[in-house]
Every structure is written in C-alpha cells, then in structure tokens.
Structure 1
Amino acid sequence: MSAPSSLSDNSRYEKACDQAIAMCDGNLRSTIKALIMANEYLEAELEELQAAITAGCVPAPTQAASDAA
C-alpha cells in the first residue's frame, strides 16, 4: 500500500470514529456497543444472503446495483 493511500484511509477512519463518537454524545462505551450491534446486524444479513445463494435464490437487484450496471 502506498503512503498517500494509507494516509487517506487513516484520515477517513479517524473522521468516521469522530462521527460515531459524536453520534453517541461522546460516550465511548455507547459507541462501541452501537458498532458491535451494527456488526452483528451485518453478519446476520450476510448469513441470510449466503443461505439464499446456497438455496439457489438470487437477491433482487437494488437500485444502486442497477445504476452501476
């Protein structure tokens, strides 16, 4: 990874951390809890999608996917 990209990523992550903490009124414990909950939600979504793919179902394309094509 090149240095400029690394600096850009770090800045982006720092900004995202600041935003997450601000959304939880500066409470770091609440911020961590919210991030864990969001991660669990995304993991559950991923498991559902994997199960659907295994069963031969294809998720309906989203608007974003349609726009990208």
Structure 2
Amino acid sequence: MFAPTSSFDNSHYEQACDQAIAMCDGNLRSTIKALIMANEYLEAELQELHASIAAGCAPSHTTSDAA
C-alpha cells in the first residue's frame, strides 16, 4: 500500500494533473469526468479480479518482452 514519507514529493501529482488537464484541452470539468470514468473502470476490473479469486480462478498474467 501507500507508505507516507516525512519529506513527501508532490511534483509527480502536479505533473499528472497538468497532463490530465492538457489532454482535456484545459477543460477542468472534462478532466474530472475522465478521471471519474477511469476510476470506475479500474474499480470494475478490481471487482472482476476479486470474483475470479473467490471462484478459485487464478488471474492470467501475460508478459511482453517488447521493450
């Protein structure tokens, strides 16, 4: 999980916010909407993963050496 440090560097989040806003052409409402939609998608993915684990199915992992 998240382990807070005494000297927390916030610049990563500032850059991520700037990037998200830029991707939505500076429209803050569109940025918030896109982030909410992305969060809902990730929550649905997590629920599916939990359901698979509860059913005894191991999630499939695919690895790619394309780097």
Query: Into which bin does the TM-score normalised by the smaller protein fall?
Result: 0.7 to 0.9
Specify the SS of the correspondent of 1:63. coil
Q: 2:6 corresponds to which residue?
A: 2
> Which one has a larger percent helix, Structure 1 or Structure 2?
1
Normalised by the length of structure 1, the TM-score is 0.83
% identical equivalent positions:
75
RMSD: 1.3
Structure 2 residues without counterparts, runs of 5 or longer: none
| Structure 1 runs, 4 residues or longer, greater than 2 Å off | none
CA distance in 1, matches of 2:62, 2:18: 30
Q: 2:25 corresponds to which residue?
A: 25
Residue 60 of structure 1: how far off its partner (Å): 1.0
How many residues end up aligned between the 2 structures? 61
Q: 1:50 corresponds to which residue?
A: 50
Normalised by the length of structure 2, the TM-score is 0.85
Q: 1:37 corresponds to which residue?
A: 37
